[in-house]
Each structure stands twice: as structure tokens, then as C-alpha cells.
Amino acid sequence: MATHAAHAEHAHAPQAFIWKYVFSKDHKVIGIQYYVTAMLMALVAGLLAMLIRVQLAWPEKDYTWLGKIFPMGYDVGGGFGVMRPEFYAMLFTMHGTIMVFFVLSTAPVSGFGNLLIPLQVGARDMAFPFLNGLSYWTFLPGCLVILASFFVESGAAAGGWTSYPPLSALKGAVPGSGTGQTMWIIGMVFFIASFTMGGLNFVTTILNLRTKGLSMFRLPLTMWAMFLVAILGLLAFPALVAACIMLVFDRHYGTSFFIPAQIALNNVPLLTQAGTPLHQGGSPLLWQHLFWFLGHPEVYILMLPALGFTSDILSTFSRRPIFGYKSMVLAMCGIGFLSFIVWGHHMFVSGMSPYLGMAFAVGTILIAVPSAVKVFNWLATLYRSRIRFTTPMLWAMGVISLFISGGLSGVWLAQAGPDIHLHDTMFVAAHFHLIMAGAALFGVFGATAYWFPKMFGRLMSEPLGKVHFWFTFITYYGTFFPMHYIGIAGHMRRIYDPYQYEFLKPLQPINELITMSALILGASQIIFFVNFFWSAFKGKKAGENPWEANGLEWTTQSPPPHGNWPGEIPEVHRWPYEYSNPDAPRDHVMQHEPAGAAAGH
């Protein structure tokens, strides 16, 4: 009977190219669409980062040749080319915006979330397949609007990825605060709408469509991460939509949510013709509260999936059950909850009441407890294990390494006092590139290599994967670790030419070193793209379960067919971490194997 139903579903799989691969409702296709789009956006954002780094290392050099490629960004005259400061502001603004939202929220969450949720919970598809397709086709216009904004008059947004008003609210405050900023807002609204649709799907699918026997405490940690991330997104993003709409009103319709009365731009007071203030009663601090109310949970939206991937990959390749499964789940819940009460640590020196600063310091330091628990659990998982150093395993080890390095500097910054000196310096850039961006990026690379069979039915090249890992791992540290030192020395962020300052001049050699490392880091990513596309078409065929792993996704074909399992959906008898049980005949027992196969969970 069930087989019959499955066959019927099979027959319903769309055949026309446009319905199968373009306007698809299949979660796997949608996941790959999200993933590929995000990786292409990463190319753009990465290129922006290269230009930022070149400028920081050698602002005095002749850039005539770059001016030929980017005529809008460089002043070339008298045989000498220099970057325009407003172009630099646009570079760091769009680098941050694209990376945070359109790459590192998208690839792990929307990409792997869509690919993996039905496969790991044992469902034929997401709960709302149409909504799922719609979410991708809402996301893509957001990307296109953001990309198009580079080509409007005066360029893309240049107020920082945080878009603090009044800089982002007053059109004369910075070039890019005109049409570019409007398009930034439109792009964000598209993105958030899409993320909300995805989030609804995630929560519903994980709660309602789990297969028989799969209780919440038998879910892989990746699923817990996706579940929490979706809740975080649903609760936090509305604050940013509200803020964006208020910003539109301030910019175009004369309201004053974020703009106070007392403003004189270029020595001209903002007054109506009658001589009354153009704006009254607004507060730039309100934007910061709304932005970071999203912005801090957003950090964990980027990171939690990577932490989930890492736990799953680590367990598979160390051939050990993940240590402290329940405490891992609790730690992620704790991190998710605390992420809502720490946003003010971005605002210690903003002029916000110092009493509030105290409260936010408390929450921020507390969040180090569940974070530390995760690291200890990972280390305990590796203890007396049997590690197989495949490419996914290397990336997982990389995530642990970056999570330690980047997490510890959080303890410095969480104490409001040291933050007075370190706030808005390169120390902060080092901190979040290691922990948030780095852990998320390494997590995505690890997940790509690990679940590639479920995307394309093939394995990625191991030699290319390893070369890519080593170049990336070494140059990632080479790029971001030294930023701690120059940050402690006072090097501010977002400075077009640091060497205007006497006290920063001695730091130029370190900036040069960072830039050289960054350029190699950027170039190394070519290896990944070559490996990705070559392996997708020519890679070694993967069987159902090439890694000898336990999850439900490994019980079906690679790639899984429409409907995910050709026959019945498997039933679950235990957790997904049953490795090296001494009572079992093999060193791993899969989730769907009947209880007779092994003692244990």
C-alpha cells in the first residue's frame, strides 16, 4: 500500500525542465538553488574584500589599472590612480551586507536547511512546498536588487552594513545614501520576507513531519540547530523589517523616528521654509536598538547550523557518539535564548545609559558558558576516538579551532570596560571574522563535502578538498588573527587610509602581511569552485552511505529521488550517534535499523 503511494508520488514528480529545476517545489532543488546563489554572492562579496585589503595595505600606490576595471571607484588623472573614499565606504558596507545576509545566513540555513530537514526527519518534502519555492523566488529578487545597486548613480549603500542613521537617513550625508540606500532597504525586505517563509517551513516540518519513532531527542544536532535558527529568525527579523520601514518613512516622507531636530549638515541647519526644524524628536539610538535586536540573534543564525554540522561530522568521522548530546541541545537552546538579551553590547559607548550597559555585560558573559560547554563536549568526543581525516572532518576540526579562537576574545569585549578601548577597532573585526564568519564559512565547506552525495550523487575530490582546506585554514588565520594586535594598538575599522594617523603608521607592515594572506585566501577559493563543478559532473559516484554514517539521509539513494525514499519512509529506532557500540556487530548502527541490531539507545 505504502509502496503504491510512493509510486504514485513518483509519478507526480514534474518532468518539464522549468518545473523540475527552475520553479521547483522539491526541497532538494530549492536547497541547491539557495546554495549556489549564495556561493555566487560570496564571490562578489569576496572580491569587495580583496579591494578593501589592497587599499588598507598600500593606499599610496598607483591604481590606474584597477581604475580601468572599476571606473566608478577610482580617480585616475595625470597617470596616477587613487581609490575614492566613498568607494571604500561602499566596499565595506556591501561586503558586510552581502556576506552576513546573502551568503552566511543563506548557504547554511536556507541551503542546507532545505536540503537536509526532510531527509533527516524522514519526510517526503517540507511541510509547505509551494511556500518553499516562493521563498527562493523572493530571495533572488533581493539578491538582484542588491547587485543592481552598484550601478545606480552615486553607487551602492555606503553607511556601513549596520546602516546607522542619520548617515543612512539623510541623503546628503554620504554618497550612496541616495538610491543605493533605498535599494539596500528593498533588498533587505525581500531577504527577510523570504527568510520568514523559510522559517515557518522549518519549524512546521521539524515539529510535525518527523517519521515514526523520531522523537525530538533523537534528532541530529543539525536539526536542533535548524529548529532554533528558524525560531530566532521568526522572532528577530521583524524588528529589522519594522526598522527598515521606519527608515523609509524618515527618508522619504518626513517622519522622525531616527532623526533628531538638532542637525546641521554641511553647516546648513535642517529647517523647513518656516524656520521650524525639519525633523523633531527622533533618536539614532532607536535604530541601533532595533538593528541589534535582530543583529545579535542573527550572529547565531549564522553560527548554530555550523555548530550542528560540526557535531554531526565530528561524530561520524571520529567513530564516537557525540559526547553530551542533551547538554549540546541545552547549550544551543541557552545560546539561542541569551542571544536575545545581549544586543546592547554593540552599544556600550553609544551614549546609552551605563546601567543598561551593565545588564548587557551580564548576558554577554553568561553566553560564554554554553559556548564553552560545546567546546568541551567536542573535545570529549575526540578523546579515545578513531579519527578518519576526510575533508569534511578537517573542516569540522577547523570550526572547533576557530570557535575557540574567536570565542575567547568575546570574553574581552563582553566586559564593557575593555570594550571602551577595543570597540570599533580591528580587534572586533578579528573577533567576529573568526567566530561568526569563519565558523559559518568552514561549517558550510564541511557540510558541502559531507552532504555532496545527497546533492549530486557524487563525492567531491578528496585531494582538491584537502588542498583547499589547508590553504584556507592557514590564510584565514593569517588574515584575521593579526587583526587582534593592530586592534589593541587602536587601529579603527572602516578607515580608508589609516596612515593619516601618526599612531597607525607603524602598523602598515602588519596590514601588508594581512593583505597578502587575504589575497591568497581569496585566490584559494578558486580550488573550491573547480572542485565543486568538476565533482558535480565527474566526481566519483557515491553509494547510499559513503561515510558509514547513521542518519536517515544515508538510508536512501544519492541523490534521493523526488519524494526522498523510493519505498516506505524508514522508521527510527535510536539516536543518530550510535558509533562503536561494543555490543553491535558493526562499528555503527543506523537510526532505522531494528532494535535487534544493537543494544543501546
Partner 1 sequence: MGKLQGLLFALATVVLVVVSTAYFMKPWMPPLLSDRGDIDHAIWVALVLTGVVFILTNLLLAWFSWRYQDAEGARAIYWHDNPKLEWTWTLVTAAILFVILFNALGLWASINGPAPADAALVEVTGQQFAWNVRYPGKDGILGRTDFKLASQENLIGLDPADAAGKDDVLLLNQLYLPKDRAIRVRVRSMDVIHSFFLPQFRVKQDAMPGMVTEVWFTAKELTPPDKPLEIACAEHCGLGHYRMRGQVHVVAASELDAAVAAAAGQ
Considering only residues 61 through 120, tell me which ones interact with partner 1, judged by CB under 8 A: 84-86, 89
What distance in Å separates the CA atoms of residue 462 and residue 465, rounded to the nearest whole number? 5
Within residues 409-428, the interface with partner 1 by CB under 8 A covers 409, 411-412, 414-418, 420-425
Q: Quick check: 139 binds partner 1 (CB under 8 A)?
A: no
| Member of 79, 582, 585, 596 binding partner 1 (CB under 8 A) | 582
H or E element, residue 552:
none
Within residues 503-522, the interface with partner 1 by CB under 8 A covers 503
| Member of 80, 130, 151, 389 binding partner 1 (CB under 8 A) | 389
What distance in Å separates the CA atoms of residue 551 and residue 355, rounded to the nearest whole number? 48
* Contact between residue 127 and residue 201 where contact means Cβ atoms under 8 Å apart: yes
| Member of 83, 100, 173, 239 binding partner 1 (CB under 8 A) | 173
| Smaller CB separation from partner 1, 110 or 581 | 581
Residue 265, SS3 per DSSP: strand
| Smaller CB separation from partner 1, 173 or 209 | 173
Looking at the DSSP assignment, which residues form a beta bridge with residue 265? Answer: 268
Least CB distance to partner 1 at residue 538 (A): 21
* Contact between residue 402 and residue 442 where contact means Cβ atoms under 8 Å apart: yes
| Member of 234, 488, 513, 536 binding partner 1 (CB under 8 A) | 488
| Smaller CB separation from partner 1, 20 or 84 | 84
| Member of 1, 11, 264, 274 binding partner 1 (CB under 8 A) | 264
Q: Which amino acid is at 28?
A: K
Cβ-proximal residues to 303 (8 Å cutoff; 6+ apart), any chain: 435, 436, 439, 440, 443
Q: Quick check: 357 binds partner 1 (CB under 8 A)?
A: yes
Q: Which amino acid is at 458?
A: R
- Stretch binding partner 1 (CB under 8 A), from 20-28, 207-215, 397-405, 452-460: 397-405
| Member of 174, 301, 434, 514 binding partner 1 (CB under 8 A) | 174
What distance in Å separates the CA atoms of residue 313 and residue 394, rounded to the nearest whole number? 10
Cβ-proximal residues to 22 (8 Å cutoff; 6+ apart), any chain: none
Q: Quick check: 376 binds partner 1 (CB under 8 A)?
A: yes
Distances (CA, A) of 244 to 121, 197, 465, 480: 36, 18, 40, 31
Least CB distance to partner 1 at residue 530 (A): 20
- Stretch binding partner 1 (CB under 8 A), from 39-47, 301-309, 399-407, 451-459: 399-407
Q: Quick check: 361 binds partner 1 (CB under 8 A)?
A: yes
Within residues 453-482, the interface with partner 1 by CB under 8 A covers 462, 466, 470, 473-474, 477, 481-482
* Contact between residue 170 and residue 259 where contact means Cβ atoms under 8 Å apart: yes
The alpha carbon of residue 345 and the mean position of all alpha carbons in its chain are separated, in whole angstroms, by 20
Residue 319, SS3 per DSSP: coil
Q: Quick check: 496 binds partner 1 (CB under 8 A)?
A: yes
| Smaller CB separation from partner 1, 248 or 382 | 382
- Stretch binding partner 1 (CB under 8 A), from 178-186, 292-300, 373-381, 545-553: 373-381
Is the Cα torsion angle 351, 354, 357, 361 positive or negative in sign?
A: positive
Distances (CA, A) of 495 to 89, 92, 310, 425, 437: 9, 10, 35, 10, 21
Least CB distance to partner 1 at residue 394 (A): 6
Q: Say if strands 264-265 and 80-83 run parallel, antiparallel, or are unpaired.
A: unpaired
| Member of 231, 333, 365, 519 binding partner 1 (CB under 8 A) | 365
Within residues 558-577, the interface with partner 1 by CB under 8 A covers 577
What distance in Å separates the CA atoms of residue 514 and residue 360, rounded to the nearest whole number? 32
Burial of 419 (0-12, 13-18, 19+ CB in 10 A): buried
* Total binding residues toward partner 1, as defined by CB under 8 A: 120
Torsions phi, psi of 556, nearest 5?
A: -125, 175
Q: Quick check: 329 binds partner 1 (CB under 8 A)?
A: no
- Stretch binding partner 1 (CB under 8 A), from 214-222, 290-298, 376-384, 451-459: 376-384
Least CB distance to partner 1 at residue 290 (A): 15
Cell numbers that stand for 299 in this block: 550572529
| Smaller CB separation from partner 1, 79 or 351 | 351
Least CB distance to partner 1 at residue 196 (A): 29
* Contact between residue 176 and residue 89 where contact means Cβ atoms under 8 Å apart: yes
What distance in Å separates the CA atoms of residue 551 and residue 574, rounded to the nearest whole number? 10
| Member of 159, 198, 308, 570 binding partner 1 (CB under 8 A) | 159
Which DSSP letter does residue 601 get? -
| Member of 129, 457, 490, 566 binding partner 1 (CB under 8 A) | 490
Q: Where are the beta strands (DSSP E) in 262-356?
A: 264-265, 268-269
Cell numbers that stand for 423 in this block: 570597540
Least CB distance to partner 1 at residue 401 (A): 7
Least CB distance to partner 1 at residue 7 (A): 40
| Smaller CB separation from partner 1, 80 or 501 | 501
Q: Quick check: 500 binds partner 1 (CB under 8 A)?
A: yes
| Member of 54, 333, 408, 516 binding partner 1 (CB under 8 A) | 408
C-beta neighbour count of 578 within 10 angstroms: 24
- Stretch binding partner 1 (CB under 8 A), from 140-148, 318-326, 337-345, 543-551: 318-326
Q: What is the CA radius of gyration of the chain?
A: 25
- Stretch binding partner 1 (CB under 8 A), from 101-109, 276-284, 434-442, 543-551: 276-284
Q: Quick check: 595 binds partner 1 (CB under 8 A)?
A: no
Q: Say if strands 74-77 and 80-83 run parallel, antiparallel, or are unpaired.
A: antiparallel
| Smaller CB separation from partner 1, 198 or 398 | 398
| Member of 22, 47, 216, 379 binding partner 1 (CB under 8 A) | 379
